[in-house]
Structure 1
Amino acid sequence: MFKPIVGPVIGHTTTNHARIFIRGGSPNNDTVFAGLRYRRLDSKPWSKGSLAQLHESRDLCHVFSLNDLESDCEYEYQTGWFSPMSPVHNLQSIAELPLQWPRETYRFRTRSADPAKARAYILGSCRYLRMTAGAAVLPHLGDRIFASINQMIEGAEPAISATLMTGDQIYVDDLNLIAPDREYKDILNKYRTAFSQPNIQRLMSGTSTYMMLDDHEIEDNWPANASNSDHELFRNAMAAYELYQASHSPAQKLNNNNEVEHSKLAHYWYQFSDGDIEWFVTDSRTQRNLSVDDRRILDIEQEQALIEWLCNSTARVKFVVTSVMFYPDRKLDGTDAWQAFPAQRLRLLETIRTRKISNVVFVSGDVHGSLTSRLTHSEDPDFEIHTIVASPFYNSKLLPYAKASMFVLDQPLVRTAAGDYQHELTSTVVSEDNFAHVVVETDQILINYHDRDGKKLQSISIELR
């Protein structure tokens, strides 16, 4: 058995369930199978191996579903792929073969059910990887920051529950002005290359990773820049996104056998929980309505689901993840973020304020700069929300970093008859490659920004109510 070509990637994980993505190989287009076995770290016997046939129609990718696990428990696992000598083998016959498992072992931990435990997360976005003629150019530069994240995770207390990558995990359009990638095979190659670099591969093999879509998974400023000839580009980009990012997320449901269902996704947004902390990861990219009469960054169904979740969730802390910034607004070129959809943004703000929903934090990336900010209301002292922005993991030298001078900070975000929504930065703006280490404690959220070498840049505390 050979080690995965891409992966393994630990995806959605709960107290008793985990999803593990791998991509195998296909020597001479032979029949190919993948296998995975696991055990508690303090247990000697391995589980019975789970086996799956890999298909070219899914780029030889598969997501294993591990069920009936124990909470707050560390597991180790082995996984790989193989092509049997005889082409007539099927899942039943290979189960009888004496498999030679790869030497590599990986570890992951299930979630704790104890709501009193502190939780920690890694946040980041925008990892640029330039591809020329199908090959990565200086890929170690974009992989460097993940070595620092791995080093932090090894000694982190509390342990890191998950990494959230909030968009632009690949750049389909990295050479958009010269030779943009539009073919399915080329987009798949970008995913394979980006996710198989050594440091990010190590991170994703041991830490639950949640991903979401932004524009560069398709095309810059999608769909505003879409043309009539982009239908095929969109179809190819989304098919690749579903394979490599959505497949191991909660957006993908389980079937009656508790295996990941590979049928068409109903939508790309999803929710997950971690103790008394809940996350709503939006799709603020593919369902936009740019018409003058009813501008929306979220479609009607998603907005309703988000509002219902905000109103009905009993979570102590509610994180809303949106690939583009909820606030503050930019002085120039703000047409791609929430400021271009003011009516929908105000509906969410008014829902949070009038329903007196506390401890709501908006998380985003996109702008190639990191910051935290606080939003209050001039006539309602009970209203307060925060935003955490973490970007980029690695910036293209062709693009600038964000600076504080780019944002509108000297006037209210929104003026209404009931009062003004006023905002202020609660951090400096980080204008370099970085990631955020977020710890949710009993009475505060602590955000630490680190540079690409792991050096702490600044710390910010958000008091919980």
Structure 2
Amino acid sequence: MKSIFIALFLLAPVLLAAQIKSGPMLGYADMKEVLIWVQTQQAASVHIQYHEIGDKKIYKTDPVRTEKATAYIARIIADEVTMGKKYAYEVWVNNKKMSFDYPLEFQTQELWQYRKDPPAFSFIFGTCNYVNEEGTDRPGRPYGGADEVYAAMHAQKPDFMLWGGDNFYYREPDYTRTGMIHRNDHTRGAKSLQPLLANVHHYAIWDDHDYGPNDSDRSFPLKHTSLEMFKMYWGNPNFIFPNEGITGKFQWADVEFFMMDDRWFRAPNEIADPQKAYWGEKQMTWLLDALSGSKASFKVIVNGGQVVSPAKLFENMANYEGERNHLLKELKNRNIPGVLFLTGDRHISDLNKLTREGTYPLYDLTVSPMTAGKADAVKQDYNETLVEGTLVTERAFSKIEVSGPVKDRVLKITIHNIKGDVIWTKALKSSELK
């Protein structure tokens, strides 16, 4: 009997952790609150306990009840925090502390405005994340792989991760609400992903595969269900059009990120009209107005597909001439400094640079894929905007570091392979983007 008791005691942390299906995952972090996401195996009461590192005072959130109707997800706000601090936290389910074999920490953003230069920070950017599942994958060689990339990203110790679309891939059986929940659950629950989720803050946009089928557009009949899933499973701080797509914005230190939706308003690719909608008039107007009012050192536009490249390939914005021309014209006419793009989709990585007469060049960093299948570049990729030596056809992710005094900030791009080895680096100065 004693040996059975000892065995059960030793198993207790495993049994407790098993009550969590996936997570915890850190969502947005601001100066006065942080979002923490947890999914349980069944209906349960979840709360978070946390304390500032170096201080023993414990704070406790109100409990949140998880239910089947919302996939047993708890979205919990830690609101007794202050600026520029790091916190250790615990997850409690049904008043029992969950055990993990890695630490749990989050942070708040620093109040630096009118006081000093903005703090240095770093983030990870990646796209195209495919997690294999026997039975729903296509026959033959698995399309996904290389999940060691999550550990390589975590090892970079970024402040946050920016998911640039195709963050998972819906399959043919998934086009019901039940199927969409299953696909989100399956990808979010990848064991090797959990430490990265728990200790790095996460922001996301979507592209076609985590919105709907391949190359899907505004006609997708389950778009509202896709939107419901996105809001359930991600922790973005806002949505500009509450019931229309995932467009949003957030700020980290002196950099603003404009999170674009290239699906919700998008006309079908097949329409032979150069004026057809890509982001759509409503979203384009918001973006240009928001950029015009921004004082950020860098204004990073995050989009599912490539913008700067003129190559009319696949789903590049160049296929939507009217909107692309309007965007480029207005960026120049409004004299908006500091703009650059982060994009995905292509299953290759590269840096494109568009030289513009009378103003600074526009850069577009494409990083793809993380764990999905690799692709080869095509002839049109080798055009006048491609920065020599930056085209990569292996699985990769990027680390982006921002540092320096407020009047001369530097944004350093490093492309890593799935093991974390450096492939190439490039630094851009804010003073060069004016």
TM-score in terms of structure 2 length: 0.85
Deviates more, 1:183-192 or 1:303-312: 183-192
- Aligned in 2, Cα 1:135/1:326: closer, same or farther, shift over 3 Å? closer
1:207 maps onto 2:200 in alignment: yes
Preserved contact between residue 373 and residue 426 of structure 1 (Cα < 8 Å): no
Q: Does the CA-based 8 Å contact 2:130-2:143 persist in structure 1? A: no
Gaps of 5+ in 1: 83-98, 154-159, 174-178, 254-262, 411-422
Q: 1:59 to 1:134 in 2, by over 3 A?
A: farther
Structure 1 Cα separation of the partners of residues 208 and 372 of structure 2: 15
**Quick one: distance in 1 between partners of 2:292 and 2:224?**
35
Q: Is the 8 A contact 2:162 2:203 kept in 1?
A: yes
Please point out which of 62, 70, 75 is paired with 1:50: 62
Given candidates 34, 37, 60, the residue that maps to 2:72 is: 60
Instruction: Choose the corresponding residue for 2:213, options 214, 219, 224.
Output: 219
Change (3 A) 1:302 1:295: same
What does residue 176 of structure 2 align with?
Answer: 183
What residue number does 1:237 align with? 226
- The residue that corresponds to 1:420 in the other structure is none
- One-letter code of the match for 2:375? Y
Any residues of structure 2 matched to 1:16-165 within 5 Å, and which? Answer: 16-26=32-42, 31-82=43-94, 99-104=95-100, 105-114=103-112, 115-133=117-135, 141-153=145-157, 160-165=158-163
Which consecutive unaligned segments of at least 5 residues does structure 2 have? 1-15
Which residue of structure 1 aligns with residue 7 of structure 2? none
* Structure 2: distance between partners of 1:404 and 1:441: 35
Distance 1:368 1:392 in 2: 5
1-structure distance, mates of 2:421, 2:282:
42
Match of residue 27 from structure 2? 11
Tell me, yes or no, if structure 1 residue 388 matches structure 2 residue 365.
Answer: yes
Q: What is aligned with 1:198?
A: 191
Please tell me whether the aligned partners of residues 274 and 322 of structure 2 are also in contact (alpha carbons under 8 angstroms). no
| Conservation of the 8 A alpha-carbon contact between 1:128 and 1:142 | no
Q: Give the number of equivalent residue pairs.
A: 399
- Identity in percent: 18
Aligned to 1:415: none
* Whole-angstrom CA distance in 2 between matches of 1:452 and 1:303: 35
Shift in Å at residue 392 of structure 1? 0.7
State the 1:130 CA deviation: 2.5
**Pairing partner for 1:289 from 267, 274, 295:** 267
1: CA distance, partners of 2:145 / 2:365: 25
C-alpha distance 404-340 of structure 1, shift in aligned 2 (>3 A):
closer
Partner of 1:276: 254
Q: Structure 1 residues 327 and 129, CA, compared in 2 at 3 Å: closer, same or farther?
A: same
- Residue pairs, 1:432-451, within 5 angstroms: 432-442=394-404, 443=408, 444-451=410-417
**TM-score, structure 1 normalization:** 0.79
Deviation, 1:198, is 2.6
Aligned to 2:336: 357
Partner residue of 1:409 out of 375, 383, 396 = 383
The residue aligned with 2:6 is none
Q: Which residue of 1 aligns with 2:308?
A: 327
Cα-Cα RMSD? 2.6
Change in CA separation of 1:293 and 1:405 when aligned onto 2, cut-off 3 Å: closer
8 Å CA contact 1:72, 1:109 repeated in 2: yes
| 2:418 corresponds to 1:452 | yes
